[in-house]
């Protein structure tokens, strides 16, 4: 039994080593990607539920890792946070997004994701100021998306940083709303400009009365606080119909548009509807 136990421990350790090795390799490749400017940005449209008009675009990071193909940000962002590259990666995203948006033919808003680690650093205030100055982007066209988890980590610091940024004219959205454990407390602590309802709430919304009741309650909360609500992860017409009936302000999801490059030709010359 002792021998069997030792073999199993040994196997377990080898697996741990392999896992750690792969993470180290990915962390290293992230730094290389930064150096080589190998990241890309894609944009996902956000629309008004009542009029269908474009209200803005969320900026999403893409990494085509040599030898591995596209790696999901849900896999590499946490690693970048643990290994320190999130600072420069986040700065690259902000700078590149503002520069690109400043040259768009239409002055749409962009919503940029900000990680908890960035939020805990005072440098973020200077970074936003510098990037707006360098790109010439109007501050009103920039929105930062922050999660409540990111705020809770160091709440005092995070709210201080957000206040400074908001004072520049940049707006702040609370991302993945409803998935954290103190959503209401977070809402009370800061004057957010938008609530982004997590996409888990869209599941079964057209068939499940419970889900619909929760969405209705959050929309009522948004209305009483005068904060518009955007529903994430809208994939079906049935979901969009519910959102319209319940008075949701904006929506984002595969139904309205996949993340990608913006097709200006289509936007500027909309095909005549029959």
Binding site for ligand C2E (CB under 6 A): 44, 60-61, 72-74, 77, 90, 93, 113, 115, 175-176, 199, 233-235, 253-254, 259
Q: Hey, what are 253's tokens?
A: 């999801």
Closest C-alpha among 201, 199, 134, 125 to residue 168: 125
Instruction: Tell me whether residue 17 or residue 75 sits nearer to ligand C2E (CB atom).
Output: 75
Q: How far is the CB of 176 from Ca ion (least distance, A)?
A: 4
Q: How far is the CB of 216 from ligand C2E (least distance, A)?
A: 21
Instruction: Tell me whether residue 5 or residue 181 sits nearer to ligand C2E (CB atom).
Output: 181
Q: How far is the CB of 92 from ligand C2E (least distance, A)?
A: 9
d(CA 49, CA 112): 21
Residue 253 partner contact from ligand C2E, Ca ion, none using kind-dependent CB cut-offs of 5 to 8 Å: ligand C2E
User: Which residues would be at the binding site for Ca ion (CB under 5 A)?
Assistant: 113, 145, 175-176, 232, 263, 265-266
∠ CA 187-222-259, nearest 5°, is 90
d(CA 237, CA 99): 34
Contact indicator for 215, 249 with CB cutoff of 8 Å: no
Q: How far is the CB of 31 from ligand C2E (least distance, A)?
A: 16
Instruction: Tell me whether residue 135 or residue 269 sits nearer to ligand C2E (CB atom).
Output: 135
Contacts of residue 138, Cβ cutoff 8 Å, sequence gap at least 6: 107, 169
Instruction: Tell me whether residue 29 or residue 218 sits nearer to Ca ion (CB atom).
Output: 218
User: Cα dist. 39→93, 142, 241 in Å?
Assistant: 9, 20, 36
Residue 183 partner contact from ligand C2E, Ca ion, none using kind-dependent CB cut-offs of 5 to 8 Å: none
Q: How far is the CB of 173 from Ca ion (least distance, A)?
A: 8
Contact indicator for 79, 26 with CB cutoff of 8 Å: yes
d(CA 135, CA 96): 9
Instruction: Tell me whether residue 74 or residue 210 sits nearer to ligand C2E (CB atom).
Output: 74
């Amino acid at each position: 039994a002792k021998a069997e136990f030792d073999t199993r421990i040994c196997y377990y350790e080898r697996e741990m080593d392999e896992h750690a090795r792969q993470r180290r390799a990915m962390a290293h490749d992230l730094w290389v990607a930064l150096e080589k400017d190998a990241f890309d940005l894609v944009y996902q449209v956000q629309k008004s539920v009542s009029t269908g008009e474009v209200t803005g675009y969320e900026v999403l990071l893409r990494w085509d890792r040599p030898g591995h193909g596209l790696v999901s940000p849900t896999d590499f962002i946490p690693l970048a946070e643990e290994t320190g590259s999130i600072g420069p990666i986040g700065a690259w995203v902000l700078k590149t997004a503002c520069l690109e948006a400043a040259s768009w033919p239409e002055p749409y808003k962009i919503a940029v994701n900000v990680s908890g680690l960035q939020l805990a650093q005072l440098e973020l205030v200077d970074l936003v100021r510098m990037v707006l100055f360098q790109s010439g982007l109007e501050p009103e066209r920039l929105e930062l998306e922050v999660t409540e988890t990111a705020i809770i980590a160091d709440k005092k610091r995070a709210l201080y940083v957000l206040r400074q940024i908001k004072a520049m004219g940049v707006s702040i959205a609370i991302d993945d709303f409803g998935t954290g454990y103190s959503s209401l407390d977070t809402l009370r602590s800061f004057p957010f400009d938008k609530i982004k309802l997590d996409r888990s709430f869209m599941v079964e919304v057209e068939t499940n009365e419970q889900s619909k009741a929760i969405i209705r309650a959050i929309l009522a909360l948004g209305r009483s606080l005068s904060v518009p609500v955007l529903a994430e992860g809208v994939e079906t017409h049935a979901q969009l119909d519910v959102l319209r009936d319940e008075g949701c302000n904006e929506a984002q999801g595969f139904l309205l548009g996949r993340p990608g490059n913006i097709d200006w030709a289509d936007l500027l010359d909309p095909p005549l509807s029959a």
